[in-house]
Amino acid sequence: MSADKLSFMLENGLDLREVVTTGSILQINQEFDEDDLKAEENNDDLAPQVDILGQAVSNFAAFSEKLETIKETEHVKKKIIVEGGGLPLHDGCTVFIAYSGYWENQQEPFDLVPLKKPMEVDLSDNGLLPGLQFAIKTMLVGETSVFLCSYKVMYGEMGVPPRIKPKADCVFYIKLIKSILTPKQGKINFSESNMFQRVNHEVKMLTVSGTSLFKTNNYYGAIQLFKRAVNMLHRCRLADEQEEAVQEKLLKKLYINLVVCYNKINKPLFACTACNELNRLGSLWNNPKVLFQNAKSLRMIKSYPEAQIRLKKAMKLQPGNKEMEAEYALLMKQWQESEETKKHIELVQLPASITDEFKHEVDDLIKNFKSNDEESKITIPSCFNSDEIAYFKEVCIRENLFFNKHLSTDSDNKPKENAEASEACPELSDYLCVTKDQKKVNII
């Protein structure tokens, strides 16, 4: 291989004395950028072509006869395509893998990790399905193998409709690219200095696992991992501006992932809170994907004017985007229907009502904020009716939080020159502010 094609280097030089006596371990430093969480499936249209391992299998029953059952479980069969070498893997290893997953008689893989951007997997702590975990542990570094995995150790009897059918067996072609010893485990002392490198590694592992869960539509599991990573980054002491820049980059990615996941599970208030954090980090008004997701969450809570502002900005940054155009049409339709409903309610003077779904989301939002010592403030829209605002007050009293209501003044509502500098939830003073210093909830 020519020198200009090498994409890695040794972390430390070799000690010749160790080489000829006790031996020496090569530590290879190879940087991999994790794939961005795919909020929209058609965002990959412009992506370059990647290497796909293996090929489709038309008949699993016939293919199974060419494979051997692994000793760890009867539900996974294996055939080695390219032999590997080195020591067997164990729970103390972190490996880098590429793979392609196929359904029976399907020409295109349903899941893919390319060779150029392998997945980092801690064998002792990851979000992989049991079948993949069993398969990887049978491999050696450099090995490429094909595995036939039963639904019993993959997606279960129910599957994940409509993407994954019930009782769906699958074939995975896996290449084990690299294996390293997992960094020191144990509880992290965030007050210690020089801890960011370890926290950075843990956060990347959580991000990879969360992304894997997202791809299987396990949005709740992905949210838990992303939130854990965010809390770790906020608690870690930073040594210099370089570490601060890395922390900020990771936080932006995690908050974007959270916004997408919260919208997927219809938790728009939580999505707006994550968008506020992105706005604080300067990654809202210059990011069309975030503006698009923020507009969706604002539409779901019926904050139509603010949703329109963000969606127009997103469409300006990314003209011709069909999904944004469809979202804009849906927004305007719901906005018009809402205005007509308001007029009808005013005529018949019906009392306002609160849905159980709204109560449940408010309960979750306030309780999570109260129990999270790392959050000092959250801001959420106040575009609610009187009964809904009263319920906010009721929940705050129940959770021993202070609740203050401030009415907007005419001067407060004058347009600002730079509306984009305001929060991600409705602009100016029209928002709920929950602070931790005095455990206070403000409705402005």
Residue 251 and residue 356 in contact, taking contact as beta carbons nearer than 8 Å: no
User: Rounded to whole angstroms, how far apart are CA atoms 287 and 274?
Assistant: 14
pTM exceeds 0.75 for this model:
no
Q: Strands (DSSP E) along 362-439, which ranges?
A: 377-381, 402-405, 431-435
CB 239 within 8 A of CB 194: yes
pLDDT along the chain (444 residues), means of 10: 43 48 45 45 42 86 94 93 89 89 91 89 83 93 95 88 86 92 61 73 87 87 91 86 91 95 92 91 90 93 91 93 93 89 65 76 82 70 73 80 55 40 41 54 48
Nearest to 295 by CA among 309, 282, 274, 284: 309
DSSP string, 234-281: HHS---SHHHHHHHHHHHHHHHHHHHHHHHHTT-HHHHHHHHHHHHHT
Q: What is the pLDDT of residue 147?
A: 96
pLDDT at 91 (0 to 100): 85
- Give pLDDT, residue 134: 93
Question: Residue 80: exposed, middle, or buried by beta-carbon count in 10 A (0-12, 13-18, 19+)?
Answer: middle
pLDDT of 36 reads: 54
Preceding peptide of 162 cis, ω within 30°: yes
Query: What contacts 439, CB < 8 A, 6 or more positions away?
Result: 370, 400, 401, 402
All domains of the chain in start order, with CATH: 50-181 (3.10.50.40), 196-348 (1.25.40.10), 356-443 (no CATH)
Relative to beta strand 111-113, strand 93-102 is antiparallel
Query: Cα–Cα distance between 36 and 34 in angstroms, integer?
Result: 6
Per the DSSP assignment, residues forming a β-bridge with 145 are 80, 174
pLDDT computed for residue 236 by the predictor: 83
Residue 366 confidence (pLDDT): 81
pLDDT of residue 248: 93
Residue 209 has a pLDDT of 85
